[in-house]
């Protein structure tokens, strides 16, 4: 049977081959050279503000014409402030410690013979995103920081913005003498490109999907390349018995931050705390702009003028939207744990409590990549204002995805009598 290949498959394979050929040159750069490349990328994105915002306006206009939802538009739309925040994020990545060549373990196995366990780049990272220009910028920065080439396929909704970002990045790399072909952008008009990318065995070493649960599940189902399975939210904050109304309201408001891309979309209140907490909590969340859904107890406690719609099963599951919050009452901590076991995305789970026993039970019983017990309000507020990629799998990497999570390791045995090796400046 003849294998018929499409032009899209050929184009994806060509981009992956060029990225793979450039990867070793990128990995061989010194940390200072990659710092310079990242700073050049940040400067280039800032300088290209007009072009990037114009490209984004085209995407947003098309998305509105296609009838895409409000939350999708919120994630898609760039303005000067959001772009400035992305530029500062890239500069922050440049300022982070260089993970390439980091010594994780070292031992002398014979006189003059040291065995070292080193952190090294994976090679080529494939990225599949939806309407998320921030994810494109974030993963390009992390790939460069970790010495990996990257092939990006943004969804159709973010096509023009993504192509403009990639163009600015490549110009920056050329300006500082870094390998331009290490960053490849695929045209997002055809879904076939995403499928070809996640099946590019031998050319791509890891695929990172950045989007909603449906995108992640589709990538996992279609991929033959290893996937770093991520989630963008779907967590809960549990307000235990004994937590006073002022603290409960402050913590819940910080955790869910309606309008943000934070990880927490569910609030569970212990029945013993509900009489003092629930009415004030619902009023505060509504005042913050949350669209509320709840169980019978939550709906019954809603203050006058606050609409709480009946929660459906899928309101407790997955990421929801940035402004939707589900609120429920549980009779005891065991019920909260059962609910989270049934509905968690594996991203983040939070407990606010006055009981050491409750804290230990929660830590032992909940299943998530990040578990927080009585975190500072400032930490919850910071987490709710960003949308980091978080790996929810158990192997390779788990939790927030940084440069180190896009790397692998190597064991190296070297004859130290040969003297030190100076890396290329």
Q: Give pLDDT tens digits for 384-395.
A: 544 556 666 667
Cβ(290)–Cβ(302) under 8 Å? no
Largest Cα separation within the chain, whole Å, is 79
What's residue 383's pLDDT? 55
User: Residue 423's pLDDT is what?
Assistant: 45
Q: Which residues is 309 bridged to in the sheet?
A: 293
Reported pTM: 0.78
Mean pLDDT of 168-177: 96
First-to-last alpha carbon distance for the chain, in angstroms, is 52
Q: What is the pLDDT of residue 268?
A: 95
Close Cβ partners of 312 (under 8 Å, ≥ 6 residues apart): 293
Orientation of helix 133-145 relative to helix 31-47, angle to 10°: 160
Dist CA 124 CA 150 (whole Å): 5
pLDDT per residue over 53-70, tens digit each?
A: 999 999 999 999 988 776
Examine the pLDDT at 5 and tell me if it is beyond 90.
no
Determine contact, residues 264/255, Cβ cutoff 8 Å: yes
Range scoring the smallest mean pLDDT among 71-80, 336-345, 382-391: 382-391
Q: How confident is the model at residue 424 (pLDDT cuts 50, 70, 90)?
A: very low
pLDDT at 234: 73
Residues 7-231+390-418, CATH architecture: 3-Layer(aba) Sandwich (3.40)
Give yes or no for a contact between 149 and 122, defined as CB atoms under 8 angstroms apart: no
The pLDDT tens digits for 265-278 are 899 999 999 999 99
pLDDT band, residue 119 (cuts 50/70/90): very high
Residue 420 pLDDT grade (very low, low, confident, very high; cuts 50, 70, 90): low
Which residue, among 232, 260, 59, 84, has the nearest Cα to 162 in the 3D structure? 59
* Cα torsion 87, 89, 92, 96: sign: negative
Question: In the predicted model, is pLDDT for residue 27 greater than 90?
Answer: yes
Cα 126 off chain centre by: 14
Residue 280: its pLDDT value, please? 94
| Residue 258 burial class via C-beta count within 10 angstroms: exposed 0-12, middle 13-18, buried 19 and up | buried
Mean per-residue pLDDT, 125-153: 92
Contacts within 8 Å (CB) and 24+ apart, 107-114: 109/413, 112/415, 112/416, 112/417, 113/413, 113/414, 113/415, 113/416, 114/413, 114/414, 114/416
Predicted pLDDT at 341:
87
Check whether 121 has a pLDDT greater than 70.
yes
Domain boundaries, the chain: 7-231+390-418, 235-384
Q: Kindly report which listed range (109-118, 158-167, 371-380, 404-413) carries the lowest average pLDDT score.
A: 371-380
Query: Which pLDDT value is given to residue 322?
Result: 61
C-alpha separations of 79 from 55, 57, 205, 342 in Å? 11, 9, 34, 38
* pLDDT one-digit tens code per residue, 221-275: 999 999 887 766 678 899 999 999 999 999 998 888 765 656 788 999 999 999 9
Read off the pLDDT of each residue in 300-323 and give the average, rounded to a whole number.
82
Reduced to 3 states (helix: H, G, I; strand: E, B; else coil), residue 391 is strand
More confident residue, 106 or 216: 106
In the prediction, which pLDDT does 175 show? 96
pLDDT score, position 214: 79
Q: Please, is 138 exposed, middle or buried when counting C-beta atoms within 10 Å of its C-beta (0-12, 13-18, 19+)?
A: buried
Give residue 2's pLDDT band: very low, low, confident or very high (50, 70, 90).
Answer: very low
pLDDT surpassing 90 at residue 191: no
Contacts of 318 (CB under 8 A, 6+ apart): 212, 213, 233, 234, 345
Reply yes or no on whether the pLDDT at 168 is more than 90.
yes
Angle subtended at Cα 87 by Cα 85 and Cα 88, rounded to the nearest 5 degrees: 65
Predicted pLDDT at 396: 72
**Residue of 124, 218, 212, 152 lying closest to 407 (CA atoms):** 124
Structural tokens at position 165: 């970002």
Q: Which residue has the tokens 């509504």?
A: 286
pLDDT at 131 over 90: no
User: Which CATH number describes the domain made up of 235-384?
Assistant: 3.40.309.10
Going 383 to 386 to 388 to 393, the CA torsion angle's sign is: positive
């Amino acid at each position: 049977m003849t294998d018929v290949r499409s032009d899209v498959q050929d184009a994806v394979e060509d981009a992956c081959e060029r990225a793979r050929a450039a990867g070793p040159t990128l990995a061989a750069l010194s940390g200072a050279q990659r710092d310079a490349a990242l700073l050049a990328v940040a400067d280039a994105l800032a300088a290209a503000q007009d072009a990037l915002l114009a490209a984004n306006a085209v995407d947003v206009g098309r998305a509105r014409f296609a009838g895409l939802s409000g939350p999708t538009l919120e994630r898609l739309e760039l303005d000067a402030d959001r772009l400035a925040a992305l530029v500062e994020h890239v500069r922050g990545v440049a300022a982070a410690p260089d993970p390439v060549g980091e010594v994780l373990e070292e031992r002398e196995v014979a006189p003059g013979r040291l065995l070292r366990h080193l952190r090294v780049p994976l090679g080529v990272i494939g990225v599949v995103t939806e309407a998320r220009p921030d994810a494109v910028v974030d993963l390009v920065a992390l790939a460069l920081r970790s010495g990996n080439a990257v092939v990006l396929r943004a969804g159709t909704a973010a096509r023009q913005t993504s192509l403009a970002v990639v163009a600015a990045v490549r110009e920056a790399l050329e300006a500082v003498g870094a390998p331009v072909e290490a960053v490849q952008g695929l045209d997002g008009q055809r879904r076939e490109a995403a499928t070809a990318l996640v099946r590019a065995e031998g050319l791509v070493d890891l695929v990172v999907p950045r989007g909603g649960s449906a995108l992640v599940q589709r990538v996992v189902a279609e991929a033959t390349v290893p996937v770093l399975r991520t989630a963008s939210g779907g967590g809960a904050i549990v307000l235990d018995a004994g937590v006073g109304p002022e603290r409960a309201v402050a913590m819940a408001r910080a955790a869910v931050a309606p309008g943000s891309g934070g990880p927490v979309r569910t609030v569970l209140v212990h029945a013993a705390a509900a009489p003092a907490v629930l009415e004030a909590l619902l009023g505060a969340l509504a005042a913050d702009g949350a669209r509320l859904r709840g169980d019978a107890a939550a709906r019954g406690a809603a203050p006058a003028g606050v609409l709480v719609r009946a929660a459906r099963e899928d309101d407790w599951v997955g990421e929801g939207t940035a402004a939707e919050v589900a609120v429920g009452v549980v009779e005891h901590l065991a019920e909260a744990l059962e609910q989270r076991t049934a509905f968690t995305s594996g991203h983040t789970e939070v407990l606010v409590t006055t009981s050491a026993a409750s804290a230990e039970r929660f830590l032992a019983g909940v299943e998530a990549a990040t578990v927080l017990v009585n975190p500072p309000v400032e930490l919850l507020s910071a987490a709710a204002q960003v949308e980091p990629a978080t790996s929810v799998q158990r192997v390779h990497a788990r939790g927030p995805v940084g440069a180190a999570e896009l790397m692998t390791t190597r064991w190296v045995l070297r004859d130290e009598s040969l003297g030190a090796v100076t890396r290329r400046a």
